[in-house]
Amino acid sequence: MRKRKEEFLSNRFKAISRVPVLLDGVDSDQWDFTTLCRMFVDTVGYLSCWIALVYESGEMRKLSIYKKDELFLKTERLSDLAISDYVKEILVHTSDYITNRDPMLDYVRRNTSGDETPVYSITFKLTYNNIIYGVLSILLYGDYQSIREEVLILSDAVRTISVFLYEIDVRDKIKDIFVTMFETTGNGTALFEEDTTISYVNKEFEKLSGYSKKEIEGTMSWTEFVVQEDLERMIEYHRQRRINHGSAPRNYEFRFKDRHGAIKNIYMTIDMVPRTKISIASFMNITEKKQLESEILRVSEQERQQIGSDLHDGLSPHLVGVKLLLKVMRQKLEKKESPSEGELDEIDTLITDAIDQARRLIKGLKPVDIQPDGLIFALEELVNTTCVRYGLYCHLECREPVSIKSNITATHLYYIVREAINNSVKHASAKRIDVVVKNRNRELSVEIRDDGIGMPDMLDSGRGMGLNIMRYRASIINGDISFERGPRGGTSVLCIVQT
């Protein structure tokens, strides 16, 4: 008898030592603990074993069960057992384990009524760090003393399983956090394997590429999205990064080719996932930014050429005329002749015109004076010029003093107002334009309102180049800009910046 008991104990300890190995084979997506339950029945000698996992609400999540077939011939009846209700009872119980309450116990006792050896059950909570993950329950032959021994022996196995569930739970939560961050970032993001295969992408990358996750993941290479001229450089970066990840640049631009052959300018941030050969890359689409920069440069070049033309056709002839008149006057003085009053008046007129033209040219080069209150003076001149040039009502309203230390901020605000006025005149057929400037609590707002027909296409799609340039200028000075239709027609452009 003692030898048999020692054999049973030996089998139990061997089985418990195998628990970590068996747990490694548990699929966390399926949570199937049947193999573990089978080991407790076939190796240890229990009559049955089941493990029920629960949600935080207490509802049963997954049930894994294994039993001796000779005791459970009518297996269909097991589905009628109130295991789910029993699990809820265990979860609120104050003890870590309960004996002789397993709902399978009565069924087994009925089928073993002629057996002199009593049948008992032990049910444990699977809990760690005050978190209950589920329940483990076994049926066995034995007496009260053997029950106490089994509790001591099984406690280690229960703790091992509980710690395993805790670690998986923590890992899943970290994974959920990562996936959430991965999916909700505003940029396209992807994971690259060492062989350049794309193993994971988010929704933004789907939009950027034109392909679905199913088409990309595990099938496509990132090299398929790079234009030929940039490919060799990026392959070399990919290679260097896996030898010494610091030797390859972390940020750089390249041209991205989508499903339809459209070329997009991308600013990429890429790094290695620690302790792996996998890299994670973020793709910022800067195509529109590049277009806006190009458009601003084009407009600047156009204005530069206009200034050059004004110098050549306007100021330069004036100065030449002044020089010729001075030459004539010099010749007269050499002949002891006095210059006429008309000649002096003509020189004075030419010099005055030259000064005016020089001021206009300077205004074109630098529309806002460097002084803190230069913006208001520049806007006053802008609205006055608009009234004269287009024959409409254009008014500036500014009741509080405005002081802007940054001339860059003031200049971009000026260009935003000028662009909004041009849109009102050219696209909205406005008859009245109001520019309202408010300065309160270090927050400066500039609103341009008109009574025109509005710009429905541009406001709906946001594709108008003029509106996009205003947005771009606002972003440069960390401002917020909005475009709205008035309740009675017209358009309102509002830009707010911190001063």
- Looking at residue 28, its pLDDT comes to 67
Helix (H, G, I), strand (E, B) or coil at 287: helix
- Looking at residue 111, its pLDDT comes to 66
Over range 72-82, report the average pLDDT. Answer: 53
- Letter for the amino acid at 46? Y
Given a contact cutoff of 8 angstroms between Cβ atoms, the answer to whether 134 and 126 are in contact is yes
Q: Does residue 214 have a pLDDT over 70?
A: yes
Q: Could you read off the pLDDT of 280-318 as tens digits, one per residue?
A: 999 999 888 777 777 777 766 666 666 666 665 667 776
More confident residue, 69 or 491: 491
Band of the pLDDT at 80, cuts 50, 70, 90?
very low
- Looking at residue 125, its pLDDT comes to 94
Given a contact cutoff of 8 angstroms between Cβ atoms, the answer to whether 28 and 62 are in contact is no
pTM (two decimals): 0.52
- Looking at residue 240, its pLDDT comes to 93
Alpha-carbon distance 442 to 431, whole Å? 32
**CB-based burial label for 294 (10 Å; 0-12, 13-18, 19+):** exposed
Which residues, including other chains, have CB under 8 Å from residue 87's CB and lie 6 or more apart?
52, 54, 58, 60, 134, 135
Q: Could you read off the pLDDT of 432-476 as tens digits, one per residue?
A: 999 999 988 888 999 999 998 876 554 444 445 678 888 888 888
Over range 360-371, report the average pLDDT. Answer: 65
Which residues, including other chains, have CB under 8 Å from residue 104's CB and lie 6 or more apart?
48, 50, 67, 78, 81, 83, 121, 137, 139
Band of the pLDDT at 365, cuts 50, 70, 90?
low
